[in-house]
Amino acid sequence: AQSVTQLDSQVPVFEEAPVELRCNYSSSVSVYLFWYVQYPNQGLQLLLKYLSGSTLVESINGFEAEFNKSQTSFHLRKPSVHISDTAEYFCAVNGGSQGNLIFGKGTKLSVKP
């Protein structure tokens, strides 16, 4: 069965600093990877996803993630964070033919002024 490991439960950073949120997945034949963001007391919103093709995927708000097959990783990065990026971030992998997602335990990003 697929699984996802998010290595850091909390990541505090200062505003305008770079950040990397780490995600590793269990290897499988067909892997589709997702990053979702959750603001306090809200549902999840898709940030970006990797399905195939270019291993670097970008979101509209400056985040990017790189699919690394050899290291089974899909780390999320942003070169300069804003206060508004404070949220919890979830990495997920496809769960199989039922279409569900398997989520990591989440990383809380806290951006300080």
Partner 1 sequence: DGGITQSPKYLFRKEGQNVTLSCEQNLNHDAMYWYRQDPGQGLRLIYYSQIVNDFQKGDIAEGYSVSREKKESFPLTVTSAQKNPTAFYLCASSLLAGGETDTQYFGPGTRLTVL
Could you list the residues that contact partner 1 (CB under 8 A)?
Answer: 6, 9, 30, 32, 34, 36, 41-46, 49, 51, 90, 94-101, 103-106
What totals of helices (H) and strands (E) does the chain contain, helices first?
Answer: 0, 12
Residue closer to partner 1 by CB (options 11, 15) is 11
Minimum CB–partner distance for residue 65 and partner 1 (Å) = 15
State the Cα–Cα distance between residues 24 and 72, nearest whole angstrom: 6
Minimum CB–partner distance for residue 69 and partner 1 (Å) = 17
Other Cβ atoms less than 10 A from the Cβ of 11: the count is 17
